[in-house]
Chain A
Amino acid sequence: KQEVTQIPAALSVPEGENLVLNCSFTDSAIYNLQWFRQDPGKGLTSLLLIQSSQREQTSGRLNASLDKSSGRSTLYIAASQPGDSATYLCAVLNSGGYQKVTFGTGTKLQVIP
C-alpha cells in the first residue's frame, strides 16, 4: 500500500528565505506527483504537476523535483513571502489498473514578515 510522508509537519521561516519542503513515497510505481497548497478552511490549489518521466517542473518562484527511484520529491520556494503561508500537500497518482491517489499529511508553512 502506498504511503506518502511529508516532513516537516510545520515550518516557520522569516520572509525572504528560500525553503525546501519534502515529500517521500514508498511505492515508485506512480503516474505523477502533484503539489497543492491549501489555505485554512479552503479548497486545494494546484501548484505543480510532475509526470513520472520528468525530473522537475518550475512555475515562478516554485520548483518541484522528482526522484522516482528513491521515492522522493521536493518543493523549493524561493524568496518566501507572507502570502506563501499555507499548508502544502503532495499527492501521488498510483499506476496500475485503478489509479488511486494518495496524499501526504502536509507541511504547514508560516512565513513571518
Chain B
Amino acid sequence: EAQVTQNPRYLITVTGKKLTVTCSQNMNHEYMSWYRQDPGLGLRQIYYSMNVEVTDKGDVPEGYKVSRKEKRNFPLILESPSPNQTSLYFCASRSGGGYEQYFGPGTRLTVT
C-alpha cells in the first residue's frame, strides 16, 4: 500500500530535549515536505526536499533541521525544542512535476 508514515504519532517532551520525528514514504517520490498546523494559522511549510541531499527552507524553518540521506526518509529534528513548537506536524511527499501530495497521519507534539 502506497503511504507516508510518521513516528511517533504523539510526543510529549520538555524544553531543550532534542527529538527527531521520522517520516518515510514507499512511493519513490522525489519531493518531501514538513508542515506544522496551528489553530488560526493553518498549515505552514517548514522545510522541503527536492531529492537526496537537496533541502531548502519553507516559511517557518527556525528551530528545525532536516536531512535527506535516503530518498524514502526525511526526518525532522528539533535540536532544542521550545513550547512555541507545540503543534501538529505533517510530512508529505509527491513525485516530480505538478503531481498531488500525499500526507502522513500527523504527529502531535507537546513541549512543556
Contact = CB atoms under 8 A, between A and B. Distances in A.
B33 interface: yes
B42 A105 contact: yes
B103 interface: yes
A101 B106 contact: no
Given A43-B90, A43-B105, A43-B106, A101 B45 contact: yes
B102 interface: yes
B101 A46 contact: yes
A105 B44 CA distance: 10
B43 interface: yes
Chain A contact residues: helix, strand, loop or mixed: strand
Given A89-B42, A89-B43, A98-B56, A46 B50 contact: no
Interface residues on A, range: 20 to 34
A98 B56 CA distance: 8
B107 to A, nearest CB: 10
Interface residues on B, range: 20 to 34
Interface string B15-52: 00000000000000001010100001111110010100
B59 interface: yes
Contacts of A36: 103
A99 B50 contact: yes
A104 B104 CA distance: 19
A28 interface: no
Interface of A: 31-32, 34, 36, 42-44, 46, 49, 51-52, 89, 91, 93, 98-106
Closest 8 CB pairs of A and B: A31-B98, A105-B42, A103-B43, A49-B100, A32-B98, A44-B103, A43-B105, A103-B42
